[in-house]
Amino acid sequence: MTEDRKIKIIVAKPGLDGHDRGAKLLARIFAEAGMEVVYTGLRQTPEMIVETALQEDADVVGLSSLSGVHMYFFPRVVELLREKGLDDVLVVGGGIIPKEDIPELKKAGVAEIFGPGTPTAEIVAFIKNNVRTRD
Amino acid sequence: MRDYAKEVLEGSVRAAARLISWLEDEDPRALEHMERLYAHTGRAYVMGITGSPGAGKSTLTDKVTFALRKKGLTVGIVAVDPSSPFTGGAVLGDRVRMSRLTMDPGVFMRSMATRGFLGGLAKATGEVVKVLDALGKDVILIETVGVGQDEVDVIRLADTTCLVLVPGLGDTIQSMKAGVMEIADVFVINKADRPGADQLYAEVTTRVEQDASIRERAWTPPVMRTVAVDDEGIGDLVEAVEAHRKFLEESGALEEKRRRRAREETLQLIHGELYRRIRDRLTANGELDALVEAIVQRRESPYRAMQHVVARWMRE
Ligand SMILES: Nc1nc2c(ncn2[C@@H]2O[C@H](COP(=O)(O)OP(=O)(O)O)[C@@H](O)[C@H]2O)c(=O)[nH]1
Ligand SMILES: [Mg+2]
């Protein structure tokens, strides 16, 4: 069968703030788009997120942040992924992120940042177009 | 190409994770590695945890794993969640209750979607168990889907199956479908802090006693009470599972179970491979289309077509 390979995505919410409505919604959106979404819950450290990506053999890590910790957390996740040899894993971010932070995050290896109100179809399309082809 | 089998045997999480993906995708590259891993499997003890959605299976899995880790045992976890039949997607949320296990190098946890497979597991769950076994995990916990009561496939893979029942979720003996009670090697009444727990406990206990009086059984499933969220009753549950293991080992039932498993598995593999080969050939040369056309027009019957295809294949 030449059916499309399933995309596996980790949806994680790093940091300490206690809302996961946004992340849960994202998880549902990705599942609707046919992906297999590993939802990890709240208060994930970058180390936990990367270990999860490793065990789950995830293609994508989606990070959601509201608490302003993205400048530390997002690059740290990319860095740890590289350390583990998972440099082909696509990292995308979302949440409330000031525009001026975006260039630096991208320079650090975050593939794309989606602000609030980004059409979900756009996020899904970006992932589908940029996900690795697994050997 | 990387030598995944060798890496798994050396304990590589990365290699195990990738091999599991291939197994899930039914990627033919997995075969060669599984073939080499097989000799190193059969050491892990396999526990199944099944029950209705929301019964507390993930919470229990977390607590049981923690208890096993304290005993110095390493643990592999396979948690299965349903794929949507409409979109093919899935939300795999069991890790939420097991966050604290993530950074423990003695634990490997993998989420799986059913991908249309019925019976409470994913098609590749049995293969994934073998990878974790070869990876050196002492105990492997399988958390089943739990959407209804037809998820009894876990007993084919698990040495000990724990059936989790909770008060207030419609888990009453009357509502239980035929065959479901029978899958339990250990009953777990979880959410024992909730109203109705005593009644459910009494109901299940009575049922187990009745069953034993109707027909003598070598093993009488114990009925355990737990409050998974508060880590209550977990030690006793682990002991009950150990007692069952001891029973299986001493009575020879474990060997018998595993022999049956090997038999089923071998037949299933042969079935799958024959199917694939015949299907590929029939589709490649256009014969299948021609047959279907003839069958639709009633010039041919599927029964005769089957006999011809099989007979010819056997001759070649
Ligand atoms: N009151 C109570 N709630 C529990 C208990 N065990 C689990 N829960 C809660 O039940 C819900 C479902 O638990 P989960 O482990 O995800 O169930 P699963 O769907 O069977 O895996 C969660 O909100 C748990 O916190 C328990 O013993 N008592
Ligand atoms: Mg669960």
**Tens digits of residue pLDDT in B253-309:** 999 999 999 999 999 889 988 998 999 999 998 999 999 999 999 999 999 999 999
Tell me which of B143, B188, B229 to substitute to probe ligand 1's pocket, judged by most ligand atoms within 8 Å of the beta carbon: B229
| Nearest-CA distance A59 → chain B (Å) | 11
Q: Give the Cα separation of B220 and A11 in Å (integer).
A: 43
CB contact under 8 A, A57 and B18: yes
Sign of CA dihedral B122, B123, B126, B127: negative
Work out whether the CA dihedral B288, B294, B297, B300 comes out positive or negative. Answer: negative
Q: What is the length of chain A?
A: 135
CB atoms closer than 10 angstroms to residue B273: 11
Contact B89 A27 (CB under 8 A): no
Is B89 in Cβ contact with A34 (below 8 Å)?
yes
**Contact residues, chain B, for A28 at CB < 8 Å:** 91
Q: Rounded to an integer, what distance in angstroms lies between the CA atom of residue A57 and that of residue B108?
A: 12
Q: Which of A25, A42, A55 to mutate to test the interface with B (most CBs of B within 10 A)?
A: A55
Q: Which chain A residue shows the shortest CA-CA distance from B132?
A: A55
B112-127 per-position pLDDT tens digit: 999 988 888 988 999 9
Is B193 near ligand 1, meaning CB less than 6 Å away?
yes
Collect all residues of chain B within an 8 Å Cβ-Cβ radius of residue A47. 103
Full pLDDT tens readout for chain A, 135 residues? 335 689 999 999 887 766 777 788 889 999 999 999 999 988 899 999 999 999 999 999 999 887 778 888 999 999 999 999 999 999 999 888 888 999 999 999 999 999 888 898 999 999 999 999 876
Contacts of B14 in chain A (CB under 8 A): 54, 84-86
CB B54 near ligand 1, within 6 Å: yes
pLDDT at site A1: 35
Task: Give the separation between CA B165 and CA B121, rounded to whole angstroms.
Answer: 19
Residue B66 has pLDDT above 50, yes or no: yes
Whether B55 is in the pocket of ligand 1, judged by its Cβ within 6 Å, is yes
Nearest CA in chain B to A38: B92
What one-character DSSP code corresponds to residue A88?
Answer: T
- pLDDT score at A42: 82
d(CA B220, CA B190): 19
pLDDT score at B174? 67
Look at the alpha carbons of B114, B119, B125, B127 in this order and tell me if their dihedral is positive or negative: negative
What mean pLDDT do residues B35-60 have?
Answer: 95
Angle among Cα B198, B201, B202 to the nearest 5 degrees reads: 85
Report chain B residues whose CB lies below 8 A from the CB of A86: 14
CB atoms within 10 A of CB A88: 12
B57: Cα within 13 Å, side-chain hemisphere: 27
Is the distance from CB of A54 to CB of B14 less than 8 angstroms? yes
The SS3 of residue B248 is helix
User: pLDDT of B155-196, one tens digit each?
Assistant: 899 999 999 999 987 666 666 666 778 899 999 999 999 999
Closest by alpha carbon to B238, among B44, B2, B69?
Answer: B69
Average the pLDDT over B69-95 and give the result.
Answer: 96
Indicate yes or no: CB of B91 within 8 angstroms of CB of A39: yes
Q: Which helix (H) or strand (E) holds B187?
A: strand B186-189
A31 contacts in chain B (CB < 8 Å): 84, 87, 89-91
**Where does chain A have alpha helices with state H?**
21-32, 46-56, 70-83, 102-107, 120-130
pLDDT at B135: 98
- Using CA atoms, how far residue A24 sits from A63, B54, B91, B257, in Å, is 12, 17, 9, 41
Asked if pLDDT for residue B69 goes beyond 50, the answer is yes
pTM for the model stands at 0.93
pLDDT value at position B178? Answer: 64
pLDDT tens track for B48-57: 999 988 999 9
The DSSP code for B38 is G
For residues B312 and B117, what is the distance between their CA atoms, to the nearest angstrom? 31
Q: Which two tokens stand for residue A52?
A: 């999860």
> Which of 62-121 (A) contact B at CB < 8 A?
84-86
List of chain A residues whose C-beta atoms are within 8 Å of the C-beta of residue B92:
36-39
Cα(B37)–Cα(B53) distance, integer angstroms: 34
- Could you tell me the CA-to-CA distances from B287 to B49, B166, B281, B294, B313 in Å, in that order? 45, 54, 8, 11, 13
Query: CB of A38 within 8 Å of any CB in chain B?
Result: yes
Q: How far apart are the first and last CA of chain A?
A: 17
- The DSSP letter of residue A4 is P
Is the CB of A50 inside 8 Å of chain B's CB atoms? no
Distance B109 CA to ligand 2 centre (A): 13
Q: Quickly count: other Cβ atoms within 10 Å of residue B79's Cβ.
A: 24
Among the partner residues B90, B108, B109, nearest to A36 by beta-carbon distance: B90
**Residue B128 in tokens:** 């994934």
d(CA B143, CA B6): 28
Q: A8-129, what's its fold? A: Rossmann fold (3.40.50)
Place of tokens 């423990």: B104
With cut-offs at 50, 70 and 90, classify the pLDDT of residue B5. Answer: very high
Q: Which B-chain residues 37-96 have CB contacts (< 8 A) with chain A?
A: 83-84, 87-93, 95-96
Cα of first residue to Cα of last residue in chain B, in angstroms, is 34
Beta-carbon contacts of residue B310 (< 8 Å; ≥ 6 apart): B278
**pLDDT tier, B240 (very low <50, low <70, confident <90, very high otherwise):** very high
Strands B90-92 and A112-114: unpaired
Residue B61 alpha carbon, nearest atom of ligand 1: 15
Q: How far is A108 from chain B (nearest CA, A)?
A: 24
Instruction: Tell me which ligand sits closest to the C-alpha of residue B92.
Output: 2
Give A134's DSSP letter. Answer: P
Please report which helix (H) or strand (E) contains residue A62, including its range.
Answer: strand A60-65
Residue identified by tokens 């050939």 is: B281
User: Which of A22-31, B133-142, B231-240 has the least mean pLDDT?
Assistant: A22-31
The secondary structure of residue A14, as a DSSP letter, is: B
